[in-house]
Amino acid sequence: MQHLVHVNNNDSDKNTKELKEKVQEETIQKLHHKSEEERANAMANKYHLPYVDLSLIPIDPEMVSIVPKETAQNASLAVIYKVGKKLKIAVKDPENYETNKVLEKLKQEDKMNYTLVVVSSDSLRKAWLTYDLSTVTKRFEDQGVSLKKEDLTEFEKGIHNIIDLKKRISEINTTEIFNIIMAGAIKTKSSDVHIEPNLDYIRLRYRVDGVLQDIVNLPIKVSRTITSRVKMLSKMKLNVTDIPQDGHFSIDLENKSINIRASILPSTYGESIVLRILSEDATGLKLDELGFNQFYMEKVEEQLLKPTGMLLVTGPTGSGKTTTLYSFIRRVNQPNIKIITLENPVEYRLEGISQTEIHADTGLTFAQGLKAVVRQDPDVIMVGEVRDSETAEISIQAALTGHSVFSTLHTNNAAGAIPRLLHLKVNPTLISPSINAIIAQRLVRTLCEHCKEEYTPAQETIDKIKEILSKIPRNNSMEIPRDVKTIFRSCGCSKCNFIGYKGRIGIYEMFILTQNIEKIILHNTSASEVMEKAREDGMITIQEDGILKAIEGITSLEEIRRVTGEIFSNKF
Ligand SMILES: [Zn+2]
């Protein structure tokens, strides 16, 4: 992978130099590791043995201890796995004299069978580290560890990125492991932790910026430790393993408390765990940090000034609708304005705003909650989701009677909101008077500023981009480029955990219920009819907005394709 350093012209030469040196150093380290591993791989090929990178798999201190530390170091080997009398041994060179002496002894004197894998010196050094850990981990096993603030902070300090985390996790295999898993998730700003048991290992994955990343495979025997820890913390039934359970707990860090929602589901090989980390960070976004382009930003600002009417945000689950609504609320929040929210569930506390949680099972539905809320004389109401006719009807009535209503609908695009409302039996003549604007959105990952790479795509791709650009309406305040020469792609560096992306931004489409659109709304109006009119009013589609952001280097074409579906028939 090639690294390009992007520096603002304003930056001092010193900064530029430091940055360059840092990138160089990182590149050298990576190349060193790569060449070490390549050598090991070539060695493995020579002897027709499997090659293994131990930085990616956990090593059990008990296994390593089968051969004493000094002997193992002398013979350039490490025992990495043991079942009964069968060993799996990592060696640097299968023909090495010292190595063979030890192997011979294991076979003749200890009556062990073994298979070999070839590893690099780096891998061996890592394996030998576990000798020193085995005594430490024993101590932890005896005492048991609770999820304490000090532990987490301590672990967080040692973990700078996913690579560090993989190392830490594979070095330790006891009760400590849960703390490291959580510390790692918080450190990497993951939104979810997935712990999935398989036949002989546990798969640990984090969701980072909306995409699941494999972290490490854990030995199956830590499964019970982790499951009991989660159950204890979230007050679930310890002895129940055959039904789904959920609960929550919080982790206190130095200056903040993080809420975790835990869910356990029985699966073929044990209980599957998903931990949702309810980070306050995402909901703290300001309106201008959401990623609205200039044209939409002006429209949104204009709509938020209106004292009545409804603003609808649409998109699938996980497209960032709630974050957008929260930022709307934060924008209109003033001491003289009463804001009430109805949510399912309330995940984040907004200061100075009364938030009500919907409990459909105990009878408090959105519709019933909404009826009660309207009687509280609010100025602004946020309704988590309009999903049934009754909620749709009351929301529309509230919007028509002097309230500002923010809500979401589950449709793929903005135009689809109209047929969806009609489907929910909303009177077509009420739609335009009550609804001010409809927004649809998705979230795309933003390219890591430290390693993104500018490149010239294939002529075919350029032509396609130009074709798309030529179809974007020009009757809006956007400056649409007519040509494009280069775009950016993801690379990966230590700053982005070698993912190539860091953070997310919204891509949007939005239209105002103008007279142009109003006149076509009848009982059976289709999304494509609405779309046509919205385009006449200058609407830029989600995909077009995404492509404009890719041209700017905010994200990549691959990312737009991942989120919005196929753009081009050919690979670019
Ligand atoms: Zn990066």
* Per-residue pLDDT at 303: 96
Ligand 1 center to residue 482 CA distance, Å?
Answer: 30
Using the mean position of ligand 1's atoms as its centre, give its distance from the Cα of residue 75 in Å.
39
pLDDT computed for residue 258 by the predictor: 83
Task: Say if residue 120 is in the same domain as residue 158.
Answer: no
Q: Mark which of 83, 105, 129 sits at the end of a domain.
A: 129
Q: Confidence band (pLDDT; 50, 70, 90) for 320?
A: very high
pLDDT tier, 569 (very low <50, low <70, confident <90, very high otherwise) = very low
| Residues 121, 195 within the same domain | no
| Residue 218 Cα to ligand 1 middle (Å) | 27
Please give the model's pTM, rounded to 2 decimal places: 0.66
| Structure confidence at residue 410 as a pLDDT band (50, 70, 90) | very high
Lowest mean pLDDT among 69-73, 346-350, 449-453, 551-555: 346-350
Within-domain flag for 554: no
Q: What is the pLDDT of residues 415-449, one digit of tens each?
A: 999 999 999 999 999 999 999 999 999 999 999 99
Asked whether residue 466 is domain-assigned, the answer is no
Residue 281's pLDDT band (cuts 50, 70, 90): low
pLDDT, residue 123, reads: 86
d(CA 1, CA 453): 10
In a shared domain, residues 293 and 268: no
**How many Å lie between the centroid of ligand 1 and the Cα of residue 497?**
7
pLDDT at 3: 40
Of 317, 293, 514, 522, the C-alpha closest to 412 is 317
Residues 393 and 519 in one domain: yes
Residue 139 included in any domain = no
Final residue before a domain boundary, out of 85, 101, 129: 129
CA 449/CA 142 separation, integer angstroms: 46
pLDDT in tens, 20-29: 776 676 667 6
Closest CA to 249 of 170, 152, 326: 152
CA of 491 to the centre of ligand 1 (A): 7
Which of 185-189, 356-360, 375-379, 527-531 is most confident? 527-531
Would you say residue 188 has pLDDT above 60? Answer: yes
168 with 96, same domain: the answer is no
Instruction: Tell whether 75 is covered by a domain.
Output: yes
Instruction: Give the CATH number of the domain where residue 415 resides.
Output: 3.40.50.300
Q: How far is the CA of 498 from the centre of ligand 1 (A)?
A: 6
Helices (H) and strands (E) in the chain, counts: 20, 18
Tell whether 484 is covered by a domain: no
pLDDT at 416: 97
What average pLDDT does the chain have?
Answer: 84
Same domain, 274 and 288: no
pLDDT for position 100: 94
Q: Are residues 325 and 419 in the same domain?
A: yes
Compute, in angstroms, the gap from residue 447 CA to the centroid of ligand 1: 8
The reported pLDDT for the residue numbered 415 is: 97
CA of 553 from ligand 1 middle (Å) equals 14
For 110, the domain range is 1-129
Tell me, yes or no, whether 334 and 427 share the same domain.
Answer: yes
More confident site: 534 or 224:
534
User: Count of CB atoms within 10 A of residue 483's CB?
Assistant: 9
Residue 566 forms part of a structural domain: no
194 and 221 in a single domain? The answer is: yes
Quote the ligand 1 centre to 23 CA distance (angstroms).
10
Which SS3 state, helix, strand or coil, does residue 33 take? helix
Q: Average of pLDDT values for 225-254?
A: 86
Residues 110-139, mean pLDDT to the nearest whole number: 75
How sure is the predictor about 494, in pLDDT bands with cuts at 50, 70 and 90?
confident
pLDDT digits (tens, 9 = 90+) for 56-99: 666 676 778 889 889 999 999 999 887 778 888 999 999 999 99
Confidence of residue 548 (pLDDT cuts 50, 70, 90): very high
Asked whether the predicted pLDDT for residue 145 surpasses 50, the reply is no
For position 544, what pLDDT does the model report? 96
DSSP string across 398-446: HHHTT-EEEEEE--SSSTTHHHHHHHTT--HHHHHHHEEEEEEEEEEEE
Q: For the chain, what percent of residues have pLDDT higher than 90?
A: 47
Instruction: Using the mean position of ligand 1's atoms as its centre, give its distance from the Cα of residue 30 in Å.
Output: 13
Cα–Cα nearest to 299, from 148, 179, 478, 178? 478
- The domain boundary, picked from 278, 313, 331, lies at 278
User: Considering only 37-41, 139-143, 179-183, which range has the smallest mean pLDDT?
Assistant: 139-143
- Domain membership of residue 94 (yes or no) is yes
Question: Would you call 502 helix, strand, or coil by DSSP?
Answer: strand
Question: Ligand 1 centroid to 463 CA: how many Å?
Answer: 29
Residue 547 has pLDDT above 90, yes or no: yes
53 vs 205: CA distance, rounded Å:
19
* Highest mean pLDDT pick, 9-13, 37-41, 60-64: 37-41
Nearest C-alpha neighbor of 417 from the set 402, 400, 395: 395
Confidence class for position 172, pLDDT limits 50, 70, 90: low
Number of structural domains in the chain: 3
Give the position of tokens 């009760």. Answer: 175
CATH at residue 118: 3.30.300.160
Same domain, 384 and 532: yes
Task: Based on the fold, state whether residues 299 and 430 are members of the same structural domain.
Answer: yes
Contact 194, 212 (CB under 8 A): yes
158 Cα–ligand 1 center, Å? 20
Mean pLDDT of 160-188: 73
Ordered DSSP codes for 520-559: T--TT--HHHHHHHHHHTTPPPHHHHHHHHHHTTSS-HHH
| 187 or 107: which leads in pLDDT | 107
User: Does 500 fall in a domain?
Assistant: no
